[in-house]
Amino acid sequence: MSLLTVHALEAFYGDFQALFGIDFHIQTEEVVAIIGANGAGKSTFLKALAGQIPSRPDAIQWDGAPIGALPAHRVVQQGIALVPEGRQLFRSLSVEENLRIGAFAKRPGHWNLARVYALFPALYDKRHQPGTSLSGGQQQMVAIGRALMSNPRLLLCDEVSLGLSPLVVKDIYNALPAIRSEGVSVVLVEQDIDAALRASQRFYCFMHGKSSLTGTSGEVPMHRISQAYFGAQETTA
């Protein structure tokens, strides 16, 4: 049984429908990428998984139990954590205070301040500085560390490379194996197709709120991915 299964997921912003019948699954310690152009529904999908957008209860199954109607704080308690686009750190709090907030659910597990600082050593010397005073890459590390402090089984990462230098992006992606080794699965929303495919085992391409292509990363020809990225046909590789 998959760790998380999504079936015929729909999502709305008021009367506007953003997702149309999304099917998805992820296994334990798997990294799955979600690629697609701006407005394809990628961030909306993560928000639905994180409980920020309500959905039909049985549209999202976690360990076989329906969680689609749970609010965000209950979803975190279940073991699902979101690293939001834009990082969204608390401006009035230090790096360490931002990290500690991630542990509010008090889930048991291996992730704590020491483990986060070991994963991202650059944060330790800056732990007493305001989180928003750091560079963009270091702020992204804080956002990832904050999510890990909840000891999730599933980490949802929304555009972690956006606006960052290639060197910083490489450092962040290099942390994924250590995160997976702790039994954490990762859903990676990413516009950089090459980075997404290198970091993941499988991928889904979204287009206009629908899944236009699914496949094994590295095995699907780029022309098919390009067609799914810019076109609208649904297919499985």
**CA atoms within a 13 Å half-sphere pointing along the CA-CB vector of 140:** 21
**pLDDT exceeds cutoff 90 at 172:** no
**182 is in which domain, residue-wise?**
4-87+152-236
Whether the predicted pLDDT of 233 surpasses 70: no
Is residue 154 classed exposed, middle or buried when 0-12, 13-18 and 19+ CB atoms within 10 A define those classes?
buried
Q: According to DSSP H, which parts of the chain are helical?
A: 42-49, 72-78, 95-101, 113-119, 136-148, 166-174, 176-180, 193-199, 222-230
Tell me, rounded to whole angstroms, the distance of Cα 71 from its chain centroid.
Answer: 17
Alpha-carbon gap, residue 84 to 32, rounded angstroms: 17
- Whole-structure pTM over 0.75, yes or no? yes
* 9 in any annotated domain: yes
Q: Could you tell me if residue 208 is inside a domain?
A: yes
Q: Is residue 118 part of a domain?
A: no
Question: How many separate domains does the chain show?
Answer: 1
Q: pLDDT tens for residues 55-79?
A: 999 999 999 999 999 999 999 999 9
Residue 192 has pLDDT above 80, yes or no: yes
- Whether 190 maps to a domain, the answer reads yes
CATH number, residue 212? 3.40.50.300
In a domain, 45, yes or no: yes
Tell me what pLDDT residue 236 has. Answer: 54
Q: Do the bridges between strand 202-207 and strand 31-35 make them parallel or antiparallel, or are there none, so unpaired?
A: parallel
- Cβ–Cβ under 8 Å, residues 229 and 222: no
pLDDT value, residue 131: 93
- What are the pLDDT digits (tens) for 89-129? 999 999 999 999 999 989 999 999 999 999 999 999 999 99
- Residue 116 is predicted with a pLDDT of 96
Percent of the chain with pLDDT over 70: 97
pLDDT of residue 231: 78
207 in any annotated domain: yes
Distance of CA 191 to the CA centre of its chain: 13
Q: Using 50, 70 and 90 to split pLDDT, how confident is the model at 40?
A: very high
Would you call 140 helix, strand, or coil by DSSP?
Answer: helix
Tell me the one-letter amino acid at 232: A
Instruction: Give the C-alpha separation, 145 to 187, whole Å.
Output: 16
Residues in the chain: 237
98, 164, 159, 158: which is closest to 131 by C-alpha?
A: 98
pLDDT band at 163 (very low <50, low <70, confident <90, very high): confident
Average pLDDT for residues 210-225, to the nearest whole number? 94
The label of the residue with tokens 């309500």 reads 54
